[in-house]
Structure 1
Amino acid sequence: MNSIIANIKNKINNDMHLKELLKGSSIAFVLRIVGIIAGYIFTLLITRGYGAEAMGVFALSFTLLQISSVIGRLGMDTALLRFVAEYSLQGKWEIVKDIYKKAIKLVLPFSLFLSVLVFFLSSYIAEYMFKKPHLSPYFQIASIGILPFVLLFIHTESLRGLKKIKEYMFLQQAGIFILASIILGILTLIIPLFQININLNQLPISIYIFSVFMLSITAYFVWKTYLKKGSISFDSKKPESTALPYPYILSVSIPMLFSSSLALIMGWTDTIMLGIFRTEEEVGIYNVALRVSMITSITLMAINTIAAPKFAEFWGKGDIKGLARVAQQSTKLIFWTSFPILLLFLIFPKPILGIFGEEFRAGAVALMILTVGQFVNAAVGSVGYILQMTGKQKIFQNIIFLASIINLILNFVFIPKIGIIGAAIASAIAVSFINIIPFFLVRYYYGFYTLPTNRR
């Protein structure tokens, strides 16, 4: 046993990239766990304190916020992840600063316009899309959060490009729900004591928006600090780098915008269509089952945090062998840490969902189906990021487009007939599609497998 441990240690110490992958993903995993716990505490506070209907209202408002903010980012968040990782490694900080400035000039006015547009169209979205006019004030609250949410992602993905994993994970993943849970918990205790007369269903989304605003401001100052440090360390004797033109930046960001938008829309199509065809209670139950199922791919999310900038780094150096090695190593870690969670959720779905309240046990079958889809997502590894970080963003965009159509059709057919089970089936099939196809494309383009293997 000691010799095995010693061999593992030697392998890690002798492989700089594996060591960085393990260190970065470990930090990301811990903070992701913290974020998930905070997220479930926030969910529990809503479900236990305000019921499934309030959870459904929050889920629909949150969906509108996420979809709007993805559009508002114009794909610049993922583009900055790639460009910052590539050019900071080469010491080209002038290019990093120039790309960041151009990104802000593009997304700031566009996301502000989008926020105002959604605010004034909220009543139409609620009435004509969801057939629920009473949702209009909740959607107006969500629209206020679009701009800070966009800027939060711009700055945190830039930090991720610098491999500042702790800062990235806390600001984008954990911090929002930690702050939101604290505020909601305090107000949940105070409101009955002082008999404060407010619309309780508005409370969760309002608190979430406030938390986003606070974390967005923090992310800006953290990014500016690291940008300044990088610029100071830049060797002024080097010839000044050529700035990237707007058309080139947009040629990278726009396909990423479509990919992100379609992926998010696909991920929330089930929730939206449940909101159209079924009740807020069913939306709330399904949303909890969906959030729980995503624990299956938690290791994938953690490892992607550091793997994505490393893929961009290897691509920038033209080191395909190094990229393949990191992809293989990361996939092994993801597969074997996800498999036990799959078994747990398949064997004990009702007790797990019962934690959130007895009414949520109705989502047990949906949880099992969603978990299988998430396991497929985890098992094939970081194939989507490999395509996006290596110049194949348009191909990945087309895959997600096809998956979105499949998901939309399946949801339209299944949800009116079998409700949340139909939504889960549609989601699992679509998630599997956008992972299996890229897996074979990565194999075709770069000649390496990403599924776990014992071959050396």
Structure 2
Amino acid sequence: MINKIKNKINSDIHLKELLRGSSIAFVLRIVGIIAGYVFTLLITRGYGAEAMGVFALSFTLLQISSVIGRLGMDTALLRFVAEYSSQEKWEIVKDIYKKAIKLVLPFSIFLSIAIFFLSPYIAEFVFKKPHLTLYFQIASIGIVPFVLLFIHTESLRGLKKIKEYMLLQQSGVFILASILLGLITLLTVNNSIFLNQIPISVYIFSVFVISFIAYIVWKKQLTNQITTNLTTILTNQLSNKLLSYSTILSVSIPMLLSSSLALIMGWTDTIMLGILRTEEEVGIYNVALRISMITSITLMAINTIAAPKFAEFWGKGDIKGLAKVAQQSTKLIFWTSFPILLLFLIFPKPILGIFGNEFKAGAIALMILTVGQFMNAAAGSVGYILQMTGKQVVFQNFLLGAIFINLVLNFLLIPKYGLKGAALASTCSIIFWNIGSWLYIMINYNINTIYFPFIKR
């Protein structure tokens, strides 16, 4: 039996690459998640639920701002680098990267300055909590390095440098932040008036450090590829047609909208809880949300290598190869996600109790969120299939519908049901865009990305 499995894997180069890449991504993703939960645990145990809520809201502002600042160039670079590097068109890869930097760097700097000075208004008029101003200003300082971190790590991902990508984007910041926060917590006096500022300040400092390392690693990889393939570059230089700014933007802007909508949808419940409820509830909900995302950890790991492979297959016109990888990945995702679903549905309170007794109040929210994350995993890599095959506008439209559903349900359910209402709104919106994307792919590509043991393909 084992030999049969080995022979099947060895005979399929794409399955072998998928398993190898996703295995590396899975292990490093686990490391990143552990570091993230250690960081969360340090905040909740050392500073309390209120400090966790302050960090969650500041982190939300940072994420939303950085998504806008990236202009969709991170996902566009993932697609372009994967597509053109597989064709050994390194001059095009280098040119696209330079143009991307020229676009995002000045824009993200402007955005950082704007958010810094708008922080008092965001804190007072959006959240009705003027005391959040300083935390938002600290977060704004991290926008530029956060943007550049994603630009360089997604470019590395396009080269299928999965280990480097996972270490830098998914693990590095939380590992460094956890170490620093742990040391600072040991030395900090508990009655310090600066306690709530410490977690977000430590996180921003870690972003600066890891972002600089990501730049060094990307430049080294690109230089090595250009040096190694110099003969091919010189041969193809005349035939290579460089992409214009307008062409790059025509791909990146829809991806920006998709990324923005996905992020806004993911954080709408947190933001609306921050507006309609207390920081303590935001902190409890944020912990439940982070735990629920473990359910889709395999999806994230497999997407790490599957996304550049989708772009590679699309660039070569190999739809059958794309379909095969998509279906192989979904089967792996289902069997690794289902046990986690059962675990979180059966033991929500003990799991949340790890972070403190006050967090057990999020047990039902955790169960609801876990169902949503499982549906996200079971649908497969639908988002990346659409984005890597030039259907980023279609994906954007599904997310637009989902965010509308999320906003309406949050507005209706949070005032009455609190954490449970936010979780239900999030789950319904996740199910909507996943099912919609799956149907579109089925109809247009004849690819079934959903796997269930009782459904035959």
Fold similarity call, TM over 0.5 = yes
Q: Take 2:188 and 2:347, find their aligned partners in 1: how far apart are those partners?
A: 36
Q: Which amino acid in structure 2 is aligned with residue 173 of structure 1?
A: Q
1:238 positional shift: 2.7
Q: Take 1:132 and 1:77, find their aligned partners in 2: how far apart are those partners?
A: 33
Q: Take 1:433 and 1:201, find their aligned partners in 2: how far apart are those partners?
A: 37
1:445 positional shift: 1.1
Aligned to 1:324: 323
Aligned to 1:447: 446
Q: Take 1:305 and 1:153, find their aligned partners in 2: how far apart are those partners?
A: 13
Does the aligned pair in 1 maintain the 2:116–2:141 contact within 8 Å? Answer: yes
Does the aligned pair in 1 maintain the 2:77–2:96 contact within 8 Å? Answer: yes
Aligned to 1:377: 376
Does the aligned pair in 1 maintain the 2:74–2:154 contact within 8 Å? Answer: yes
Q: Which amino acid in structure 2 is aligned with residue 221 of structure 1?
A: I
Matches within 5 A, 1:157-306: 157-192=154-189, 197-234=192-229, 235=232, 236-240=234-238, 241-306=240-305
Q: Take 1:146 and 1:238, find their aligned partners in 2: how far apart are those partners?
A: 38
1:76 aligns with 2:73: yes
Q: Take 2:338 and 2:247, find their aligned partners in 1: how far apart are those partners?
A: 41
Q: Which amino acid in structure 2 is aligned with residue 403 of structure 1?
A: A
Gaps in structure 1 of 5+ consecutive residues: none
Does the aligned pair in 1 maintain the 2:92–2:243 contact within 8 Å? Answer: yes
Does the aligned pair in 1 maintain the 2:334–2:452 contact within 8 Å? Answer: no
The counterpart of 1:61, out of the listed 44, 58, 65, is: 58
Cα deviation digits, residues 139-159 of structure 1 (max 9, x gap): 000000000000000000000
Q: Take 2:305 and 2:384, find their aligned partners in 1: how far apart are those partners?
A: 11
Aligned to 2:310: 311
TM-score between the two structures when normalised by the length of structure 2: 0.97
Does the aligned pair in 1 maintain the 2:91–2:237 contact within 8 Å? Answer: no
Aligned to 1:424: 423
Q: Take 1:197 and 1:356, find their aligned partners in 2: how far apart are those partners?
A: 22
Does the aligned pair in 1 maintain the 2:89–2:236 contact within 8 Å? Answer: no
Q: Which amino acid in structure 2 is aligned with residue 75 of structure 1?
A: G
Q: Take 1:122 and 1:452, find their aligned partners in 2: how far apart are those partners?
A: 45
1:452 positional shift: 2.1
The counterpart of 2:31, out of the listed 14, 31, 34, is: 34
1:198 positional shift: 4.9
1:196 positional shift: 9.0
1:14 positional shift: 0.1
Matches within 5 A, 1:38-57: 38-57=35-54
Cα deviation digits, residues 82-106 of structure 1 (max 9, x gap): 0000001111000000000000000
Compared CA separation, residues 395 and 233, structure 1 to 2 (3 A): same
Matches within 5 A, 1:48-127: 48-127=45-124
Q: Which amino acid in structure 1 is aligned with residue 436 of structure 2?
A: I
Q: Take 1:449 and 1:405, find their aligned partners in 2: how far apart are those partners?
A: 26
Q: Which amino acid in structure 2 is aligned with residue 77 of structure 1?
A: D
1:406 positional shift: 0.7
Does the aligned pair in 1 maintain the 2:29–2:301 contact within 8 Å? Answer: yes
Q: Which amino acid in structure 1 is aligned with residue 187 of structure 2?
A: I
1:30 positional shift: 0.2
Q: Take 2:78 and 2:243, find their aligned partners in 1: how far apart are those partners?
A: 15
Q: Take 1:425 and 1:40, find their aligned partners in 2: how far apart are those partners?
A: 23
Does the aligned pair in 1 maintain the 2:41–2:355 contact within 8 Å? Answer: yes
Q: Which amino acid in structure 2 is aligned with residue 275 of structure 1?
A: G
Gaps in structure 2 of 5+ consecutive residues: none
Cα deviation digits, residues 26-57 of structure 1 (max 9, x gap): 00000000000000000000000000000000
Secondary structure, in 3 states, of the residue corresponding to 1:369? helix
Q: Take 1:326 and 1:293, find their aligned partners in 2: how far apart are those partners?
A: 26
Cα deviation digits, residues 46-69 of structure 1 (max 9, x gap): 000000000000000000000000
1:387 aligns with 2:386: yes
Q: Take 1:125 and 1:278, find their aligned partners in 2: how far apart are those partners?
A: 16
1:453 positional shift: 6.0
Q: Take 2:192 and 2:46, find their aligned partners in 1: how far apart are those partners?
A: 16
Compared CA separation, residues 422 and 197, structure 1 to 2 (3 A): closer
Aligned to 1:404: 403
1:270 positional shift: 0.3
Q: Take 2:179 and 2:440, find their aligned partners in 1: how far apart are those partners?
A: 44
1:6 positional shift: 1.0
Q: Take 1:238 and 1:276, find their aligned partners in 2: how far apart are those partners?
A: 56
Compared CA separation, residues 419 and 8, structure 1 to 2 (3 A): same
Matches within 5 A, 1:342-357: 342-357=341-356
Aligned to 2:433: 434
Q: Take 2:160 and 2:243, find their aligned partners in 1: how far apart are those partners?
A: 22
Structure 1, 255-264 or 225-234: larger mean CA deviation: 225-234
Secondary structure, in 3 states, of the residue corresponding to 1:237? helix
Compared CA separation, residues 186 and 196, structure 1 to 2 (3 A): farther
Compared CA separation, residues 322 and 163, structure 1 to 2 (3 A): same
Secondary structure, in 3 states, of the residue corresponding to 2:235? coil
Q: Which amino acid in structure 2 is aligned with residue 151 of structure 1?
A: L
Count matched residues. 451
TM-score between the two structures when normalised by the length of structure 1: 0.98
Q: Which amino acid in structure 2 is aligned with residue 318 of structure 1?
A: G
What percent of counterpart residues are identical?
76
- Structure 1 segments of 4 or more deviating over 6 A? none
